[in-house]
Amino acid sequence: MKVGKVPENVLKRSVMKQLHYTRDEVLLGPGIGEDCAALQLAPDEILVMSTDPITGTAKDIGKLAIQITANDLASSGAEPIGVMLTILLPDGTREIALRRIMEQMEQACRDARMQILGGHTEVTAAVNQPIVNVAGVAKAKQGHLVTTAGAKPGMDIVVTKWVGVEGTTILAKEFEERLKTYFPASFVDEAIGFDRYLSVVPEAAVAMKSGVGAMHDVTEGGLFGALWEMAEASDVGLEIDLKKIPIRQETVEICEYFDINPYGLISSGMMLMAAEDGNALVKQLQEAGIDATVIGKATAGNDRVILRDEERRFLEPPKTDELYKALSQ
């Protein structure tokens, strides 16, 4: 395809024909020449929106983009409705590549019960790999919105699944052949398969029924970045036990291979929560088949401390994600 808007015949054939899942709330959806979408919401419902680009990888970008947006919306306690898409493709991209991205997105949206509402597709010399930006739309009942800023002193800090899950699967896919010369093929294949853990929609649903105080999906900047953001938004301190943070062996060894810190590695699939009774929340999550752990407490004041045995270190504001350090090697 040439630089400029994707031709209308391609748009109809490889984009519009891939879209099938619909929601009753959508009054105006995707169409040739349509720049907006329209939703009908009840008077006691809140419209929740998010936006996120995928820039760190082009592998399975359609699936990843939808999962990340669904996670953002779920972390607010909202029910995802749909997404608006911006897809930027490098000059010379074949039409089949666009179709595969759309097929991934449609399937991921169907899995998350979201409708593709519309968007924009373009071929441009400004990018050297596909870039996808997703704007998500969701709804929440009045009085049931959960924020990152809801942590209070004394609340338990809970995480689900494991740190570095997203970064591990990205690195395993990007460097598959290279890693298989160093690790057993089965080890690398397992790390590639971590993409099955990237959704935090199920844990958000459980947490909403449990009266969770705050939720924040752990994305760019890793767990340390997410902890800082929750503490900053909530104006609380933290005491976090490093040894309680769950981590998979595949993540440990791949991070050692690239000499990066797993706690600063992009970690979609891990939900960070604050709750009055963290142990009760963990029990309910485990009953739903979701791994979860209490890793510390929110405290009064501004000290944000990571504990390891007798060692104390202070948490720092988020830095550049460790993923980019590894991708440059």
State residue 59's pLDDT score.
86
State residue 141's pLDDT score.
86
Residue 301: count of CB within 10 angstroms of its CB: 10
Domain match, 11 and 137 both = yes
Domain end position, chosen among 141, 165, 196:
141
Domain match, 94 and 53 both = yes
DSSP-derived 3-state class of residue 272: strand
Domain match, 116 and 263 both = no
Domain end position, chosen among 141, 160, 176:
141
Burial class (CB in 10 A: 0-12, 13-18, 19+), 184: exposed
pLDDT tens for the 329 residues of the chain, in order: 877 778 888 889 998 899 999 998 888 788 876 667 777 888 888 889 898 888 888 889 999 999 999 999 999 998 999 999 999 999 999 999 999 999 999 999 999 999 999 999 999 999 999 999 999 999 888 888 888 999 999 999 999 999 999 999 999 999 999 999 999 999 999 999 999 999 999 999 999 998 899 999 999 899 999 999 999 999 999 999 999 999 999 999 999 999 999 999 999 999 999 999 999 999 999 999 999 999 999 999 889 999 998 899 999 988 889 999 999 98
Runs of H (alpha helix) within 46-183: 61-74, 95-112, 165-174, 176-179
For tokens 């504990």, name the residue.
307
How far is residue 2's CA from residue 123's CA, in Å, rounded to a whole number?
6
DSSP-derived 3-state class of residue 200: coil
Say which residues have a Cβ less than 8 Å from residue 90's Cβ, sequence separation at least 6: 123, 124, 125, 127, 128, 129, 130
Domain end position, chosen among 141, 163, 190:
141
How far is residue 7's CA from residue 182's CA, in Å, rounded to a whole number?
45
Domain match, 125 and 92 both = yes
Closest to 315 (Cα-Cα) out of 298, 327, 292, 294: 298
Domain match, 156 and 244 both = yes
How far is residue 144's CA from residue 147's CA, in Å, rounded to a whole number?
10
Domain match, 133 and 18 both = yes
CATH of the domain at 66: 3.30.1330.10
- Say if residues 298 and 157 touch (Cβ distance below 8 Å): yes
Domain match, 230 and 267 both = yes
Burial class (CB in 10 A: 0-12, 13-18, 19+), 249: exposed
User: For the chain, what is the domain count?
Assistant: 2
Positive or negative, the CA dihedral 22, 108, 60, 166 is positive
Domain match, 299 and 275 both = yes
Q: Please state whether beta strands 304-308 and 311-314 pair in parallel, antiparallel, or not at all (unpaired).
A: antiparallel
Q: Look up the pTM and report it.
A: 0.85
Domain match, 125 and 156 both = no
DSSP code, position 87: E
The residue segments making up the domain with residue 239 are 148-327
Domain match, 318 and 190 both = yes
Phi-psi region of 191 (alpha: psi -120 to 50; beta: other; left: phi over 0): alpha
Q: What are the CA-CA distances from residue 228 to residues 73, 128, 221, 298 (Å)? A: 20, 33, 10, 11
Domain match, 319 and 174 both = yes
Domain match, 76 and 177 both = no
Closest to 47 (Cα-Cα) out of 118, 115, 136, 113: 136
Based on DSSP, count helices (H) and strands (E) in the chain, helices before strands: 11, 14
Give strand pairing partners of 226. Answer: none
CATH of the domain at 156: 3.90.650.10
State residue 35's pLDDT score.
67
What's phi and psi for 196, nearest 5 deg?
Answer: -75, -10
Cα 263–chain centre separation: 16
Residue 328: count of CB within 10 angstroms of its CB: 7
How far is residue 215's CA from residue 203's CA, in Å, rounded to a whole number?
10
DSSP-derived 3-state class of residue 239: strand
Query: Cα 242–248–254 angle (5° rounding)?
Result: 100
